[in-house]
Amino acid sequence: MPEAVLTLQALWESAGAVLAAAGVAEPRREAIRLWSDLEQTPTARAMLARAESVAAPKAERFLAAVGRRAAGEPIAYVTGWTGFRHLELACDRRALIPRPETEELVGRALALVRHGVAADVGTGTGAIALSLATEGAYDRVIGTDLSTEALALAAENGSRVGARIEWRQGDLLAPLAGEMVDLLVSNPPYLTAAELAALDPAVAAWEPHLALVSGEDGLDAVRGLLDGGRSVVRSGGWLALELDCHRAPLVASLAESLGWREVSIHQDLFGRDRFCTARWEG
Ligand SMILES: C[S@@+](CC[C@H](N)C(=O)[O-])C[C@H]1O[C@@H](n2cnc3c(N)ncnc32)[C@H](O)[C@@H]1O
C-alpha cells in the first residue's frame, strides 16, 4: 500500500505557496483546479474530500504538475485536457489550446447549417470538427490541418469522442480538392509576429506559432480561405471564420469584393468583432 502523506488541504496549501511564489494569479484557486483537472473530479467533490489523506504517488504527481504550472506552462497542457462546449479534449503542445470564443464560432456555424457536408480548416485539437459532428446532423465532417502533429492529436480526440471525422492533412483548402461543402468553418492563424510578441508571453512560449501567425499582415490564411472558399462552398452554403477583432472591417470588405453575399461581422461575448459569416451563391 502506498504511504499516505498529507491531507488534500495541506497539499493544496503547499501547492498554493509554490504557485504564489511563481507569481501565478489566484494561486489557491489554481491549485484546486489543477487537482480537479488532473483527477478529473468536480471541484465540489474535491472540496468535500479535503480532510482526507492523499497517497504519496498521487501527491507526487500533483506536485510535479504544480512545478510545471509554476514554470509558466498553461494549465491545459499540464493536465493534458481541456473542456470545449460539451466535450473533454486531450490537449498538448501539438495544438493550440481551444479558446472560449471559438465555442461561439461553433454556435454560429451550427445556427447557419446543420446538414450536408461540413469542413473545419485548421482543426488543431479537432475542437470545431468534433463539436459539429456531435451537435449537428451532417452527413460528413472533414477536419484538416497543415500540421501532422495537430492532426494526430485531433484523430486521438476523434477516437475518444467516438465521432466519425475525415481527417486530412494539407495547406488550407488543398485537402478539400474535389469536395463541395455546405459549411466551411475555420479559426485560422490571424496574428502578425509582432502581435504574437505583444501577447501574454506564455502564448508564444508554449503554443505552436503555426497556429497563431499568418504572414506579414496576419491575413494570409483568411485571404486564402475567402478566395479558395468560392470553389469549395456549394451554392447556398456558408462560410464562418474567427478573426482578429482589429481586422474585421478589412475582412468584411475583402469578402464582399470576392463576391460573398450576406457578409456579416459578429461580436463575441466581450463585444469584440470576432466572427465573419458569409454565404456563397455560385
Ligand atoms: C488558431 S489555430 C485553431 C485550432 C482549432 N481549430 C481551434 O479553434 O482551437 C489554427 C490552426 O490552423 C493550422 N494551420 C496553420 N496554417 C495552416 C494552413 N496553411 N493550412 C491548414 N492549417 C493551417 C494550425 O496548425 C492550427 O492548428
Give the whole-number percent of the chain exceeding pLDDT 70: 98
Q: Name residues whose C-beta falls within 8 Å of residue 150's C-beta, 6 or more positions apart in sequence.
A: 94, 95, 123, 124, 125, 208, 211
- How do residues 241-254 score in pLDDT, each as one tens digit? 999 999 999 999 99
- Measured from the CB, is residue 122 less than 6 Å from ligand 1? yes
The total number of structural domains that make up the chain: 2
- Measured from the CB, is residue 176 less than 6 Å from ligand 1? no
Q: How far is the CA of 27 from the centre of ligand 1 (A)?
A: 31
Range of the domain at 275: 96-279
Question: What is the per-residue pLDDT for 40?
Answer: 87
184 and 143: one domain? yes
Q: How far is the CA of 25 from the centre of ligand 1 (A)?
A: 29
260 and 194: one domain? yes
- Give the CA count within 13 Å in the CB-facing half-sphere of 67: 6
**Which atom from ligand 1 is nearest to the alpha carbon of 122?**
12
pLDDT(2) > 70? no
70's grid cell: 509554476
Amino acid letter, residue 96: L
Rounded (10°) angle between helices 127-135 and 148-161 = 30
Name 277's bridge partners.
240, 264
The number of residues making up the chain comes to 282
- Measured from the CB, is residue 172 less than 6 Å from ligand 1? yes
- How do residues 148-193 score in pLDDT, each as one tens digit? 999 999 999 999 999 999 999 999 999 999 999 999 999 999 999 9
- Measured from the CB, is residue 211 less than 6 Å from ligand 1? yes
Question: By C-alpha distance, which of 221, 228, 270 is closest to 245?
Answer: 270
Residue 198 belongs to domain with CATH number:
3.40.50.150
pTM passes above 0.85? yes
Question: By C-alpha distance, which of 178, 276, 156 is closest to 232?
Answer: 178
Q: How far is the CA of 33 from the centre of ligand 1 (A)?
A: 28
12 and 121: one domain? no
The model's confidence at residue 3, banded by pLDDT at 50, 70 and 90, is low
**Which atom from ligand 1 is nearest to the alpha carbon of 99?**
9
259 and 179: one domain? yes
**Is 56 within 8 Å of 8 (Cβ atoms)?**
no
pLDDT(72) > 70? yes
104 and 181: one domain? yes
95's grid cell: 495544438
Q: How far is the CA of 148 from the centre of ligand 1 (A)?
A: 11
Question: What is the per-residue pLDDT for 4?
Answer: 53
5's grid cell: 502523506
227's grid cell: 478566395
Measured by CA distance, the residue closest to atom 12 of ligand 1 is 122
Amino acid letter, residue 144: T
